Structure 1
Amino acid sequence: MITSTRLRLAAALLSGGCLLIGTAGAAIAAEPPSFQSIDTDGNGALSRAEWGKMVSDQIANAEGRAAKRLAEMPEDKRTETLDRRFRGLDGDSDGSLSQAEWDARRRD
C-alpha cells in the first residue's frame, strides 16, 4: 500500500525536490537544487537530460522508501514516469524548462 507520505516524497523527487533524513529517521522533502546548478551547459534552459540527471542523482543518493522504490523501478517504467513529469513541467511544450517553468512547479 502506498501512503500519502510516500506519494508526497515521490512527487518531491520528480518535481526537482530532494530528500533529507530527519532526526527521527523519517525522510522529509528539502529544498531542490537551484536552476543554475542544474543548467550545466549554462544556456538558460533545462533540457530533459539535465533535469533527468538531477532527479537520477537524487534517487541514487537519497535514503528512504520512496527513493528506493523509484530506484528499484524498471528502467523503462522510470524513464516513462520521468518523461511524463517533465512534459507536465514544460508548460510551453518546447522541450526544455525555463526559469519561469522551474519556479512554477512549486505552485503545482
Structure 2
Amino acid sequence: MTKKLVAFAAVLLLSAAPAIAAEWPSFKSIDTDGNGQIDSVEWRKNSANLKIEQVPTFEAMDANSTNSVDEDEWAAAEKLSQSYAARCREASSSWCKDAK
C-alpha cells in the first residue's frame, strides 16, 4: 500500500498541477453499480468526467491490488490529493506551479 501511495504522490508532485479538493467526487458517483467497490470498468467510464486536475490512476488507488477500490482506498486517495493541494498553496519553492 505504501508503494502505491508514494507512486500516487510522485505523480501529483511531478505534474506540478494541484488537484481541486473542493470538487473531489463522491465514492457513490463512481460506484455506479452500488456494490461498494469501484472496479476498473466503472473507473474508465467515469474518470474522464471528474472535475479534478490530477485524476489518479486506478492502480495507484487500488492499494491492495484487488482490481477494485473500496471506500477506504478512495478516502486515502482523496486525502492525499487534498494534502497535495494544500501543500502546493503553501509552497515557497518551484515544485508547484502555484507556489508563492
| Counterpart amino acid of residue 104 in structure 1 | A
Give the structure with the larger strand fraction.
1
Identity of aligned residues (%): 37
- Which runs of structure 2 are paired with 1:88-103 in the superposition (5 Å)? 88-103=60-75
- Equivalent of residue 105 in structure 1, options 66, 77, 88: 77
- Equivalent of residue 7 in structure 1, options 13, 16, 21: 16
Is the 2:39–2:69 contact (alpha carbons within 8 Å) kept by the matching residues of 1?
Answer: yes
Shift of 1:87: 1.0
CA distance change for structure 1 residues 43 and 57 in 2, over 3 Å: closer, same or farther?
same
Query: Number of aligned pairs?
Result: 66
TM-score, with normalisation over the residues of structure 1?
Answer: 0.49
Select the structure with the greater relative contact order (CA < 8 A; seq sep ≥ 6): 2
Q: Which runs of 4+ in 1 moved over 6 A?
A: none
CA deviation digits over 1:72-93, x for unaligned, max 9? Answer: xxxxxxxxxx7xx211110110
CA distance change for structure 1 residues 7 and 51 in 2, over 3 Å: closer, same or farther?
farther
CA distance change for structure 1 residues 8 and 101 in 2, over 3 Å: closer, same or farther?
same
- Which runs of structure 2 are paired with 1:16-95 in the superposition (5 Å)? 29=20, 30-58=22-50, 85-95=57-67
In structure 1, C-alpha distance between the alignment counterparts of 2:74 and 2:27, rounded to whole Å? 7
In structure 2, C-alpha distance between the alignment counterparts of 1:43 and 1:91, rounded to whole Å? 18
SS in 2 for 1:8: coil
Over aligned residues, Cα RMSD in angstroms?
A: 2.9
Shift of 1:106: 2.6
Shift of 1:94: 0.3
